């Protein structure tokens, strides 16, 4: 297994689970391995916003993603958010990096304070201490001073903050175009080539 092509993907309980699901689809389609960690709240958001009801067992979630959502899960592993006996919980596990999309303010605040009390937070903490890429997609508005301070703390610690702010110069025609732009920007930060949006080239 080429661990340089394997990413950890956390989907926490903020609005915008569609970003994480779309990123999972793109990464798996391009041949990247994904260690997927879903919070319980993210499953509620998926049900409310996307009409997706996930099973509780990680193996059944993997099967569901491949069946109902037609995602190539051949290189996808799904882990429970309370399971610390997994590869992403250890600094000795060599992944390419981690994305949390979307990233709730609770997850953001815990990461900023080093509170690794679930697997998403522990895996993010690992990325910071091991100096690997940690890309956070925070979804909240308006932002309080506490939110902003936490983002600054994490940026200073080495994380990259990618708020899901779609641009309109590419002339989006659908919600899928708007989601694609944000996911494309995440892939840009990951250093992965894609064709999800038309890049700005001037007048």
Query: Which tens digit of pLDDT belongs to each residue from 29-64?
Result: 999 999 999 999 999 999 999 999 999 999 999 999
Domain holding 109: CATH number? 3.40.50.1950
Token readout for 26 is 């793109």
pLDDT at 3: 52
Instruction: With respect to residue 195, please indicate whether it lies within any of the assigned structural domains.
Output: no
Instruction: With respect to residue 76, please indicate whether it lies within any of the assigned structural domains.
Output: yes
Parent domain of 79: 3-190
Instruction: With respect to residue 176, please indicate whether it lies within any of the assigned structural domains.
Output: yes
Residue 186: name the closest of 105, 103, 119 by CA. 103
54 within 8 A of 137, measured Cβ to Cβ: no
Query: Which tens digit of pLDDT belongs to each residue from 181-200?
Result: 999 999 999 999 999 998 88
pLDDT at 4: 58
Q: How many domains are contained in the chain?
A: 1
The whole-angstrom separation of Cα 66 and Cα 147 is: 36
In this structure, the dihedral spanned by the alpha carbons of residues 4, 135, 82 and 93, taken in order and rounded to 10 degrees, is 20
Over residues 105-124, mean pLDDT:
98
pTM for the whole thing? 0.96
């Amino acid at each position: 297994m080429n661990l340089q092509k394997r990413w950890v993907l956390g989907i926490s309980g903020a609005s915008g689970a569609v970003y994480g699901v779309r990123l999972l689809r793109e990464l798996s389609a391009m041949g990247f391995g994904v260690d997927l960690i879903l919070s319980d709240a993210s499953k509620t958001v998926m049900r409310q916003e996307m009409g997706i009801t996930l099973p509780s067992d990680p193996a059944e979630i993997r099967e569901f993603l491949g069946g109902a959502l037609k995602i190539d899960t051949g290189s996808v592993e799904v882990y429970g958010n309370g399971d610390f006996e997994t590869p992403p919980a250890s600094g000795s596990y060599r992944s390419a990096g981690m994305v949390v999309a979307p990233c709730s303010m609770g997850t953001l605040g815990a990461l900023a304070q080093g509170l690794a009390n679930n697997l998403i937070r522990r895996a993010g903490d690992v990325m910071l201490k091991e100096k690997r890429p940690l890309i956070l997609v925070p979804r909240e508005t308006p932002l309080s001073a506490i939110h902003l301070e936490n983002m600054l703390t994490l940026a200073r610690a080495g994380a990259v903050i990618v708020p899901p702010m779609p641009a309109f110069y590419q002339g989006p025609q659908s919600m899928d175009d708007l989601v694609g732009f944000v996911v494309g920007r995440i892939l840009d930060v990951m250093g992965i080539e894609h064709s999800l949006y038309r890049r700005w080239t001037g007048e």
